[in-house]
Structure 1
Amino acid sequence: MHAIRFLILLILFVGPVSGGAHAQTEDSLFDRLRVLDQRLFAVGFNRCETEVFGELVAEDLEFYHDQSGITVSKAAFIGGIENGLCKLDYTARRELKEDSLQVFPLYNNDSLYGAIQTGEHSFYAIYEDGRNELTSTARFTHLWRLIDGEWQLSRVLSFDHSSPVE
């Protein structure tokens, strides 16, 4: 009788035995990739501290953008940021639409090897005079791979860019 009560309590507080490990992994994976997304954009994009891209981006990065084309390699991506975004006459800021973020784990025989992260974001121009203007909104899909125990951004789809309605 005690064993049955224990099992019922275990199921109520921990969750069903089947699938419980994946659910916990998926929650922590969502949180981990959310933090990496924040570093990638809040530090790398918004502040032009490109060394963060050196840490988070895979050597074989492929970046597909619906307006500026394809970038293939970490070096080309970082160079494009340094010579483009970081040299604008305003400071660019990316803002994630929080409720849009989704993460889908990728397994190979129960072994986590990657994840798809998708969402929506807005981009702003911040001028020296204090103006803060919306420049575009877009959707993104990121493929993160677990490489040597570290999450690396490997593939990026940046699409559905639209300018604000005037």
Structure 2
Amino acid sequence: MNQSIKSLLLCSIGFLMASGIAAAQVEKNSDLYKTLKQQDSILFDIGFNKCDIEKSAEIICDDLEFYHDKGGVTNSKEEFVKTMKNGICSNTNTTKVYRFLVEESLEVFPMYNNGELYGALQTGKHFFSTNEDMTYDKSDNYALFSHLWIIEENEWKLKRVLSYNHTSKEKSEN
């Protein structure tokens, strides 16, 4: 590759990074990372694990879209809350399932519009167990997730969810 093309390529990459167009994952000690990790905790530790569904519903957009590779599509916050109440958090559910975040897997990518932060993509891995004290190294039931968070009326709200690759570690390591 000739020198002028290399220079142009490097300048273009520098411009994209400086303008925020090619933003990378934020540092784990950043305010944005900590804020969205806290939102994850409200959604799962409080909403899913403790079944305080109303508390987690407060951080969900009314027009939530949730795409699950095993459970299909949920098209609203109302439908999501109803599914939680009638499923995992039902009084008739005799086997409680808990969700655990694989801490080191969590990543947050900011999203800007004309230089202004309007949202972020949060990705990671989580695992599930009926044992409240389960650790990832002992679990065989995990999945990947991608959450699109947006700022709505100065609050972070969950807008879109992809939950996929639900599998066991044994299957994926072979």
The question of 1:147 aligning with 2:156 is answered no
8 Å CA contact retained: 1:63, 1:71: yes
CA contact (8 A) 2:149 2:158 kept: yes
| Aligned partner of 2:59 among 47, 56, 66 | 56
Q: Percent identity?
A: 42
AA partner of residue 83 (structure 1): N
**Structure 1 outlier segments of 4+, above 6 Å:** 130-133
Cα-to-partner distance string for 1:108-138 (whole Å, 9 max, x where unaligned):
01100000000000001138xx999946200
The equivalent of 2:39 in structure 1 is 36
Length-normalised TM-score, structure 1? 0.78
Is the contact made by 1:43 and 1:52 (CA closer than 8 Å) also made in structure 2?
A: yes
* 1:126-152 superposed Cα distances (whole Å, 9 cap, x missing partner): 38xx99994620000000000000000
The two structures, once aligned, show a CA RMSD in angstroms of 2.6
* Matched letter for residue 111 of structure 1: E
Code of the residue aligned with 1:46 in structure 2: it is: N
| Structure 1, unpaired ranges of 5+ | 1-17
Cα 1:101–1:131 change in 2 (3 A) is closer
Per-residue CA deviations over 1:61-108 (Å, capped at 9, x if unaligned) read 000000000000000000000101113212221111000000000000
Q: Whole-Å Cα distance in 2 between the matches of residues 39 and 135 of structure 1? A: 24
> 1:111–1:68: structure 2 CA closer, same or farther, 3 Å change rule?
same
- Aligned residues between the structures: 144
TM-score, scaled relative to structure 2: 0.75
**In the alignment, is residue 94 of structure 1 matched against residue 95 of structure 2?**
no
Gaps of 5+ in 2: 1-17
Alpha-carbon distance in 2 for matches of 1:131, 1:121: 12
Counterpart code for 1:80: T
| Aligned counterparts, 1:113-128, within 5 A | 113-126=118-131
